[in-house]
Chain A
Amino acid sequence: MSAETAGSTSEASRPQKGPLVYRQALLTRITHWTWAIALFFMLLSGLQIFNAHPALYIGQESGFEYDNAVLAMYGVTKDGAAVGQTRAFGQTFDTTGVFGVSGTPERPTYRGFPSWATIPSYQDLATGRVVHFFFGWILVAALFVWFLSSLVNGHIRRDVLPMGEDIKGLPQDVADHARLRFHHGRSYNALQKIAYSVVFFILFPLIIATGLTMSPGMDAAFPWLLDLFGGRQTARTIHFSVMALLVLFFIVHILMVFAAGPINELRSMVTGWYRTSPNTPRQEGDRP
């Protein structure tokens, strides 16, 4: 309750609005929305591709005569009914309706991920690959543009890489987030910087490199990819795991947008202009 009390008093005694600051450059905004679209299609086409062989392994190859699987989704028949099962690290779970078997009880379909999670909704590996590789190129092109422009306009240094100051202020920032009490500053806060750094400098490079490791052509050009990731099938497992982390990031990202004020956050990601908290020092170029 104390957090709410604190929240209401600060809202009630709000003296005036902070300045409107220009926070996101045009290229930052364009690449952001490009990724939003590209990642949406990559996720759903990726799950379509996964469904062609809904199992993940550790090593160079897939064990058919021995077991090196860490995840498998499949359907079995129990008492005449289709039951979906997921085996992860040796533990078997009943996942009927979502993984292994989905659809209606009258017309169950045997598939890894359900039809609402794949493009196309039905089993079609060829189309999944067409969509996945197209948006893969889009994703990489946007990343290239973003890296170049953000190095030049200072976005990476100013907003993305956590600095000493951010680390010092981290405990306070965590406490503020836990109370859904946000300070809307000129730059990003420590947790934002850490989250975006992880996405840009760890997750994106990792999902692209593991994706390329699955290509027999790229493996001939860069055989060290196979050594770096411990084999093609391990690379496929990492690719899938990073996908799950990006989905987690997306969920938190969206929740934070709503928690921090969806109108202001959306405006800044569309127009670049962001309403800061009261008492934010004014600078030249700000709008009232």
Chain B
Amino acid sequence: MSKLMVTRRRFLGLSAAGASSLVLAGCDQFDFLGDRENQVRGVLSKANDLTYHVQRALVGQQALAREYSESEIRQGQRPNGSRDPDTAEYLALKANDFADYRLKITGLVENPASYSLAELRNMPERTQITRHDCVEGWSCIAKWTGTQLGPLLDAAKVKANARFIVFHCYDDMGSLFSGPELYYESCDLVDGHHPQTILAYGLNGQTLPVANGAPVRVRIERALGYKQPKYVHTIELVDGFSQFGKGKGGYWEDHGYDWYGGI
């Protein structure tokens, strides 16, 4: 009898020891992975390249993100990130209701171009009710109206050595501490030519509000929210990211997020 009693007591004691070592292990032993320059983190991050390539192979280039019905719009589009940019250039444009706004297409193109808001609105229009998935985990369904990016890229004649599209924005994400850090993002040419990739100027039947990126925000519907830059002024075709920010292809990428952003 005593033998089993001991076994039971030991069993409980050992279980408690096992549980507490698990708890301790979760503490801060792995905080080094938060260091953006850490080599182990660099190895783990390679999984994101794998995800990107596997998804590109698995997902048809033209495969559409789900589009929802009007009845599924049950709330306003929740704004996140910058909601009211205060750079001087942006404030000047906003004061004039964006009448002087120009969207520039530059970089590795044969025909650089520049469009006013009125010109963009006169182009063929696409309206899509889609789900915005934030990297934080929440989702929000809204109706976006704009013009497709693909035909604008075709008109600009993208050079053969261009690999990515960089979107330059007016909003400054920096602080007193970091200095100015203008938001920018990028995507590959597959997403650039995707039918649902639009330069949106309308939201839920209204003019795109400042909180959601007025006058123009990019929608890339098969990616997370941070891949959909707001307050865009320049679209630049490039063959790499080294000359922008910290060279990772976007503001959030420079701060440790994955470039693909499709998962």
Q: Does B95 contact A (CB under 8 A)?
A: no
Within 8 Å CB of B131, what residues of A? 60-61, 216, 232
B5: nearest chain-A partner, CB-CB: A4
- In the complex the two chains form, is A63's CB within 8 Å of B74's CB? yes
A2 to chain B, nearest CB (A): 11
User: For the complex, is B115 an interface residue (Cβ under 8 Å from A)?
Assistant: no
- The answer to whether residues A133 and B137 also contact, given A120-B34, A127-B41, A254-B18 and a CB cut-off of 8 A, is no
B258 & A44 in contact (Cβ 8 Å cutoff)? no
What residues of B have a CB within 8 angstroms of the CB of A214 in the complex? Answer: 133, 137, 263
CB distance A60 to B26 under 8 Å?
no
B1-40 contacts to A, CB under 8 A, are 1-5, 8, 10-11, 14-15, 18-19, 22-28, 30-31, 33-34
Contact of B65 (CB < 8 Å), options: A120, A216, A255: A216
Cβ contact of B138, chosen from A62, A120, A217, cutoff 8 A: A62
Tally of contact residues, B, Cβ under 8 A: 67
A124 pairs with B4, CB closer than 8 A: no
Which of B66, B134, B222, B257 is in CB contact (< 8 Å) with A129?
A: B257
Known: A66-B75, A220-B222. A215 touches B47 (CB 8 A): no
Does residue A92 face the partner (Cβ distance < 8 Å to B)?
A: no
Q: Is A228 at the interface (CB under 8 A from chain B)?
A: no
Q: Mark A140-168, 1 if CB is under 8 A from B, else 0.
A: 00000000000000000000000000000
Interfacial residues, chain A to chain B (CB-CB below 8 A): 4-5, 7-8, 11, 40, 44, 49-50, 52-53, 55, 57, 60-66, 115-122, 124-127, 129-131, 133-134, 136-137, 180, 212, 214-221, 223, 226, 232-233, 236, 251, 254-255, 258-259, 262
B-side interface residues toward A, CB under 8 Å? 1-5, 8, 10-11, 14-15, 18-19, 22-28, 30-31, 33-34, 41, 44-48, 50-51, 55, 58-60, 63-66, 68, 72, 74-76, 78, 131, 133-141, 221-224, 252, 255-258, 260, 262-263
10 smallest CB-CB distances across A and B, nearest first, come from: A217-B262, A126-B256, A65-B75, A215-B263, A62-B138, A221-B59, A53-B137, A134-B44, A134-B47, A52-B136
